[in-house]
Amino acid sequence: MKFSERLGFVTIDDVIQLNTMNSQLKNDIFNFCMDILFNRNHEATGLLTDSYNGTNYEIVRIIWTEFFHFSIGTLIFSGDRPQNYLGKYYSVLRFYEIYDFFEYIIQTWTDSPDDILNANRLLSKNHSGYRFINRFLTPINSDTDIKNIKSGLESKIDGGHLQKAINELGKRSGPNFDTVMLESINAVEVAARTVCIDLFDGRPSDILSKSIQILKRNNFIEIHPAYLEAISKLYAYTSDNGIRHGKDPQQLKHVSDQAETIFMLEICSAFISMLKTKLSEYPDK
């Protein structure tokens, strides 16, 4: 585990990159695109015009005029080290322009399903908030999701469990999704218990269902019962599926994936954010 992960310096913007892009993601996209551009036989694909002659100069010329929309008269390129030449212009692109570039390469320079699959693996590994669907980049998270997670992290009533969830999810190689889900629901349990102890007759040994009963009895939470039932069922899911008890992955009834894990993190963060807001507004606090 990296120093930043151990010490809790991983942020939600590193874990769900929606309106931001770190250098790792930016560089990985560039390297992926350069491989498609300069290590493939594009004449064989038939994707380009008959005038295409397969040289590095021709590839750069097409990128220069069709993507960057620069004047052909400003192209000064000898044909050597095309990656370096394009890299100078790529390096100053803003995050959404980089996604424009990525989409252009996928749509124009390859028709391979494997490239789509590998592009999405790259985006997933780097925790991008986008995926290719039908060759178009599509958001899989929203600003609201990220704001809820940030708000939950800032609540300081979850015992640090949300940050542990973020640290685990932020690993580029092999994050344990069960750990993320466990820390997320543990954060809810600690936050609810903290409110109950601060305001009512809660005890350090109370589990989530007990804390929710206390909050309901004291009219601290006045929302539809189905919402509270959903939170309780998420807690039950982590127990029944063995996540809370460290079962061997082979024995689990269901193996969590990244989408489910982020959903759990978002729901738990939103609930904690709500508790914190209500706690700050409570008249006797």
Q: Does domain 144-281 have CATH number 2.40.160?
A: no
Which H helix or E strand runs over 138? strand 136-139
Residue range(s) in the chain whose domain bears CATH number 1.20.120: 144-281
Residue 122: pLDDT over 90? yes
pLDDT digits (tens, 9 = 90+) for 89-116: 999 999 999 999 999 999 999 989 999 9
Total residue length of the chain: 285
| pLDDT band, very low/low/confident/very high, at 241 (cuts 50, 70, 90) | low
pTM of this prediction exceeds 0.75: no
pLDDT of residue 89: 94
pLDDT of residue 93: 96
Residue 2: pLDDT over 80? no
CB 137 within 8 A of CB 130: yes
The CA dihedral of 101, 259, 15, 227, to the nearest 10 degrees, is: 130
Burial of 184 (0-12, 13-18, 19+ CB in 10 A): buried
pLDDT of residue 90: 96
pLDDT of residue 115: 96
pLDDT digits (tens, 9 = 90+) for 152-163: 888 899 999 999
